């Protein structure tokens, strides 16, 4: 399966399928495809699979695209909001990634899409994404999306990095994930980072995002006119919610 990621901040991934090859994708993400590619939408393996997907913020159904032509067929998928598309290589033996909820875009039909539960109560209650993460494993390539700029890091054995809870995109299953309280009352109240930070301990590869969708949505909501208001240019310039 060949692929090409196109674009800068509004990316899409174009995939070339061989005859008889299939790819599974989140419903509603397909942009275009050749005429010899057929699609089939189902739960991806029974009702339980569908419910598991719903728990991770994805749609209940998933769509499989199969190329039935002689030559290679092209199909493209687009991310739902500004950011980057990341390729996860799962071809190595026993390789698997844990990803943030609703990050899945598409993957080879040999990749299993499942849910994973955080092992520690602190991570579950205060980790930003709750107890449930997405688990991608199998033999193939998968593509996920994230907001803003993506930072890839490889942590050594017992190497620790502290991260804003919403900025974690994905990490290898060998990385330990936990939540720690920020030290200092002033840091908690006025630091702007909340009360908790995520700690990731190696070894393993991690992906971080500079602009979580929740942060973008919060900023947009702050500037959106409230019911009964008419925030014009003058009101915005003056920095307040003034009706004219």
pLDDT recorded at residue 225:
74
pLDDT recorded at residue 14:
97
* Residue 120, in any domain of the structure: yes
Q: How confident is the model at residue 166 (pLDDT cuts 50, 70, 90)?
A: confident
* Residue 228, in any domain of the structure: no
Q: How confident is the model at residue 218 (pLDDT cuts 50, 70, 90)?
A: low
Report the C-alpha dihedral over residues 216, 99, 162, 131, rounded to 10 degrees. 90
* Residue 141, in any domain of the structure: yes
Q: Domain range spanning residue 152?
A: 2-214
pTM for this predicted structure: 0.78
* Residue 144, in any domain of the structure: yes
- Looking at the structure of the chain, the number of domains it has is 1
The CATH number that applies at residue 89 is: 3.60.160.10
Please tell me which residue, 74 or 58, carries the higher pLDDT value. Answer: 74
Provide DSSP, 99-167. E-TT-EEEEETTEEEEEEE-SSHHHHHHSSS-SEEEEEEESSEEEEEEES-EEEEEE-TT-EEEE-GGG
- Model confidence over 69-89: pLDDT tens digits? 988 999 999 988 888 999 999
* Residue 134, in any domain of the structure: yes
* Residue 189, in any domain of the structure: yes
Please tell me which residue, 115 or 128, carries the higher pLDDT value. Answer: 115
* Residue 232, in any domain of the structure: no
pLDDT recorded at residue 211:
86
């Amino acid at each position: 399966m060949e692929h090409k990621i196109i674009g800068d901040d509004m990316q899409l991934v174009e995939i070339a399928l061989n005859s008889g090859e299939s790819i599974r994708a989140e419903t509603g993400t397909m942009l275009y495809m050749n005429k010899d590619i057929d699609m089939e939408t189902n739960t991806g393996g029974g009702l339980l699979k569908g419910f598991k997907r719903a728990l991770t913020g994805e749609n209940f159904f998933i769509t499989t695209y199969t190329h039935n032509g002689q030559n290679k067929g092209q199909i493209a998928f687009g991310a739902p909001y500004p950011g980057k598309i990341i390729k996860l290589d799962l071809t190595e033996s026993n390789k698997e990634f844990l990803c943030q909820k609703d990050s899945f875009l598409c993957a080879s039909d040999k990749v299993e899409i499942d849910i994973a539960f955080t092992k520690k109560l602190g991570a579950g209650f205060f980790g930003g994404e709750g107890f449930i993460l997405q688990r991608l494993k199998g033999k193939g390539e998968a593509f996920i999306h994230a907001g803003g700029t993506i930072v890839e890091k490889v942590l050594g054995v017992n190497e620790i990095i502290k991260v804003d809870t919403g900025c974690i995109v994905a990490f290898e299953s060998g990385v330990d994930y936990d939540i720690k309280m920020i030290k200092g009352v002033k840091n908690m109240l006025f630091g702007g980072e909340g009360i908790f930070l995520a700690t990731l301990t190696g070894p393993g590869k991690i992906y971080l995002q500079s602009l979580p969708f929740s942060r973008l949505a919060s900023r947009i909501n702050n500037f959106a006119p409230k019911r009964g208001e008419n925030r014009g240019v003058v009101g915005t310039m003056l920095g307040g919610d003034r009706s004219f």
